[in-house]
Homo-oligomer: A and B are copies of this chain.
């Protein structure tokens, strides 16, 4: 279920170290912004949260931290992608997304249903000759704000 907040930075540093990357100030700022928001953020939102960051470095570092297994990039349309901490640092969850404004919030399924899904997906992957299956569930709807036209 993720790690305690005080261990988080240690874990991030370790994951970066595994691909020979330092945990620099700018990267820490990105991680803190993501932790603070508690919900997936777009790049402009991240820059707003942490105004010291520059666009190109933020993109570069997010991409690198995605490879390091520190952040996850969510793509749901043509506008900006959203970024969040990787599941290993937070806990397995899914997303509820507004078709109107694109806002994303985290949701979880109960343990038993999640287990049934794991079984079903494992079988699907096996039958298709796929390995290392993970899954990604998005629930789409219209949020209260957008429903009010």
Interface of A is mostly: mixed
Query: A110 contacts which chain B residues (CB < 8 A)?
Result: 120
The number of times this chain is found in the oligomer is 2
A18 CB–B CB distance under 8 Å: no
A144 CB–B CB distance under 8 Å: yes
Whose C-beta in chain B lies nearest to the C-beta of A144? B129
CB distance from A76 to the nearest CB of B (A): 7
A141 CB–B CB distance under 8 Å: yes
**What separation, in Å, do the CA atoms of A124 and B93 have in the docked complex?**
12
- The reply to whether B124 and A120 form a contact with Cβ atoms under 8 Å apart is no
A3 CB–B CB distance under 8 Å: no
- The reply to whether A96 and B136 form a contact with Cβ atoms under 8 Å apart is no
